[in-house]
Amino acid sequence: MYQKQIEQLVILQSVDDEIIGLREELNAAPRELAELEERLDAFNTRMDAVNEKLANLREQQKRLDGEIEEDAGKVKKSKNKLMMASNTKEYHAMMREMDSLEKLNRLREEERVTVVEELARQKEAKAELDGEMEGLRKEHEAKKATLDERVAQAEKRLESLDRKRKKAGKVVPVPILGRYEFIRSRLSHPVIVPVADGICGGCNIRIPPQSYNELQKGKQILSCPNCQRLIYWVEHTPESLRRD
């Protein structure tokens, strides 16, 4: 009976480990999706900023094109007027006006070149962002498509493990099962460990000789005096572990 109880406790521990892993996966799946959605939102914010900048640059270019065209027309008119100047004073006045217009036109041409260059850079940035967003969208869609399936499989496996857990629990006496649950709620994995050469497999500390002698007799399930985990002599290793 002792050997059977040890075997069922080890099985119970294995089941509990898998249950913990599955529950972590069930919790992680929606978080993964939420993280991707947050990244997509961040990309959309960046894309909105780039699109706004592109719109402003295009508007600047359009305005400059119109002003440059208008100034060119004014320069042409000034040249025509220059030919019709009636005296030197009028001629020099028209020359100064034309020089001012040409200077203003050159400044606008330089500004336009800067705008066009920045427009090209922003278009390139948008293209790169588009590529990154497309990859992220595909990843998001793939995760979303498999999420329901992953959750369904995990829940189905949990139901199976729950049945296996109840079956294992029936073999173990209520007081021992209570000790197992108590330890599991307070200590990290594992809960039940083998003892080899008098050393606890949980805390790696030697147990007292008297406890070790009692453990080797295989009459009752004991706890490690140091870490309080349930222990069994390695020579009493459950058959289920020998087959693994």
Q: Using 50, 70 and 90 to split pLDDT, how confident is the model at 244?
A: very low
**CATH topology assigned to domain 25-162:** Helix Hairpins (1.10.287)
Q: Residue 125, class by beta-carbon neighbours within 10 Å (0-12 exposed, 13-18 middle, 19+ buried)? A: middle
Helix (H, G, I), strand (E, B) or coil at 199: strand
Q: In DSSP terms, which residues pair with 231 in a beta bridge?
A: 193, 222
User: What tens digit of pLDDT does each residue of 43-59 get?
Assistant: 889 889 999 999 999 99
pLDDT of residue 85: 64
* Domain residue ranges of the chain, discontinuous segments joined by +: 25-162, 174-239
Q: Tokens in use for 231?
A: 């222990």
**Half-sphere exposure (CA, 13 Å, Cβ side) for 147?**
16
All residues at 6 or more sequence positions from 112 whose CB lies less than 8 Å from its CB, including other chains: 61, 64, 65, 68
Helix (H, G, I), strand (E, B) or coil at 196: strand
Q: Which amino acid is at 95?
A: M
User: What tens digit of pLDDT does each residue of 13-36 get?
Assistant: 888 888 888 888 777 777 877 888
Residue 89, pLDDT > 80, answer no
